[in-house]
């Protein structure tokens, strides 16, 4: 199967569901901090923070959402072309003793999340770290799993899952391309 797997309404519903699951698991928003992993995890984190604030007005979406650059923590730096380092912007409340929810678009091998965990330890000491992803496509190389998943999409290794967001791509869609092997 190739083509659009999720459209804008599907993505919206998935984020709303994830927001409710986060609030339920953490018994409210009091100690939550969201950190998006660039590129598309950052706008997803902001959208998720807005949905948390809609459900729990005491949650300050702007004050509890940031970005975590993982460039220097990647294990493929020597294999990839030069990458520019992006900003890490932590919320003013910081991450010490907070429940940090990492937000990314696609969970695949787990290596990006491993890098994010390494980056977090240099920024502070959260009480807990949870993971929210829009798409889990499988094929893990590390023992990492998401706490919150918008959609599980079984794929072959030869297929690509591309997330398009209005903030970066002028549309909201999850597109599957490539062939089965």
Write down the domain spans for the chain. Answer: 9-77+85-155
Q: Are residues 89 and 29 in contact, defined by beta-carbon separation less than 8 angstroms?
A: no
> Which residues, at least 6 apart from 3, have a Cβ–Cβ distance to it below 8 Å?
175, 176
User: Mean pLDDT of all residues in the chain?
Assistant: 94
pLDDT(149) > 90: yes
User: Quick one: what percent of the chain has pLDDT higher than 90?
Assistant: 90
pTM of the model: 0.94
- CATH class of residue range 9-77+85-155: alpha beta
What is the DSSP code (8-state) at residue 132?
E
């Amino acid at each position: 199967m190739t083509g659009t797997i999720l459209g804008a309404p599907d993505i919206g519903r998935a984020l709303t569901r994830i927001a409710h699951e986060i609030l339920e698991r953490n018994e409210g928003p009091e100690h939550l901090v969201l950190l998006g992993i660039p590129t598309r995890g950052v706008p997803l984190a902001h959208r998720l923070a807005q949905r948390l604030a809609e459900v729990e007005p005491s949650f300050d979406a702007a004050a509890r959402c940031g970005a975590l650059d993982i460039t220097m923590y990647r294990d493929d730096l020597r294999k990839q072309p030069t990458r520019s380092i992006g900003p890490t912007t932590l919320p003013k409340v910081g991450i010490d003793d907070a429940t940090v929810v990492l937000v990314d678009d696609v969970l695949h091998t787990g290596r990006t999340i491993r890098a994010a965990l390494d980056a977090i330890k240099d920024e502070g000491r959260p009480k807990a770290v949870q993971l929210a992803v829009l798409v889990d496509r499988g094929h893990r190389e590390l023992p990492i799993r998401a706490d919150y998943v918008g959609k599980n999409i079984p794929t072959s290794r030869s297929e690509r899952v591309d997330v398009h967001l209005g903030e970066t791509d002028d549309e909201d869609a999850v597109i599957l391309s490539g062939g089965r092997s």
